[in-house]
C-alpha cells in the first residue's frame, strides 16, 4: 500500500473552522476531508463541493412510490377483489381516487424517504459492520478536524494553520 502524508488540524469552534477553511482554500491548498461532530452550515460551499443531487433522486423515488400506490390500489380494490365500502362504487379507479389520496401520499413519502436513506448510505460507502474511518474520536464529541494533503510544504502549511486558530496540528502518514 502506498502511504501519503496529510496534516490533521484540530479546531474547537465551528466559526474558527469556517474561517480557516476559507483561508486554506484561498491559499490554494487541497482539503481532503473535514470531520465535524455536527453539520456545519455553509461548510460544503466553503470547501467548494458540488451541490448534492439527492433532491433529484428523492423526486424519482417519490414517483416510483406514487406509481406503486396507484397500481397496487387499482389491482387490489378494483380488479382483484372489488368491495362496496360505504356505498362507494368499485367500477373504476378514477371514481374511487379521492378515497385513495392518503394512501398515494403515504406511499410516495415512504418510498422517497427509505430509498433516499439507502442511496445515501450506499453513496457514502456506509454499510453494516463497516469499520469507522474517523481519524480522531474527539470529532464525535466537540472537536473539528481538517485533513489537508501535504506535498512537501509541511512547514508552510503548519504556519498557515496556526494562524487560522488550530489548537493542534499533526503530520500523519495515511495509507490508502
Q: Could you read off the pLDDT of 134-173 as tens digits, one per residue?
A: 888 898 899 999 999 888 888 888 999 999 999 999 988 8
Q: How confident is the model at residue 5 (pLDDT cuts 50, 70, 90)?
A: confident
Residue 3 pLDDT > 60: no
Which comes out higher in pLDDT, residue 50 or 108? Answer: 108
Torsion of CA 98, 100, 105, 109, to 10 degrees: -170
Q: Hey, where are the domains in the chain?
A: 3-37+142-175, 54-123
Q: If you average pLDDT over each of 39-53, 99-113, 130-144, which comes out highest?
A: 99-113
10, 138 in Cβ contact below 8 A? yes
Strand partners, 5: 173
Q: Which CATH architecture has domain 3-37+142-175?
A: 2-Layer Sandwich (3.30)
Q: How confident is the model at residue 130 (pLDDT cuts 50, 70, 90)?
A: confident
Which comes out higher in pLDDT, residue 132 or 13? Answer: 13
Runs of H (alpha helix) within the chain: 14-26, 43-47, 54-73, 93-123, 154-163
Q: How confident is the model at residue 59 (pLDDT cuts 50, 70, 90)?
A: very high
CA distance 156 to 31: 15
Q: What is the pLDDT of residues 34-46, one digit of tens each?
A: 999 999 999 999 9
Q: Is the pTM of this model over 0.75?
A: no
**3-class secondary-structure state, position 144:** strand
Torsion of CA 142, 5, 150, 2, to 10 degrees: -130
Residue 175 pLDDT > 80: no
Q: How confident is the model at residue 1 (pLDDT cuts 50, 70, 90)?
A: very low
Q: If you average pLDDT over each of 73-77, 103-107, 147-151, which comes out highest?
A: 103-107
Strand partners, 169: 9
Residue 105 pLDDT > 60: yes
* Residue whose C-alpha is closest to residue 27's, from 128, 159, 140: 159
The per-residue pLDDT for 115 is 97
Amino acid at each position: 500500500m502506498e502511504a501519503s502524508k496529510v496534516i490533521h488540524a484540530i479546531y474547537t469552534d465551528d466559526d474558527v473552522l469556517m474561517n480557516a477553511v476559507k483561508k486554506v482554500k484561498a491559499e490554494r491548498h487541497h482539503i481532503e476531508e473535514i470531520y465535524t461532530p455536527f453539520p456545519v452550515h455553509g461548510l460544503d460551499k466553503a470547501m467548494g463541493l458540488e451541490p448534492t443531487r439527492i433532491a433529484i433522486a428523492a423526486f424519482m423515488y417519490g414517483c416510483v412510490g406514487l406509481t406503486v400506490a396507484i397500481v397496487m390500489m387499482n389491482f387490489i380494490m378494483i380488479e382483484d377483489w372489488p368491495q362496496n365500502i360505504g356505498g362507494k362504487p368499485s367500477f373504476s379507479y378514477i371514481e374511487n381516487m379521492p378515497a385513495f389520496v392518503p394512501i398515494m401520499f403515504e406511499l410516495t413519502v415512504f418510498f422517497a424517504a427509505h430509498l433516499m436513506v439507502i442511496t445515501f448510505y450506499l453513496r457514502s460507502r456506509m454499510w453494516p459492520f463497516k469499520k469507522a474511518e474517523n481519524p480522531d474520536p474527539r470529532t464525535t464529541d466537540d472537536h473539528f478536524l481538517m485533513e489537508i494533503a501535504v506535498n512537501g510544504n509541511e512547514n508552510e502549511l503548519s504556519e498557515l494553520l496556526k494562524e487560522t486558530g488550530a489548537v493542534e496540528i499533526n503530520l500523519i502518514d495515511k495509507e490508502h
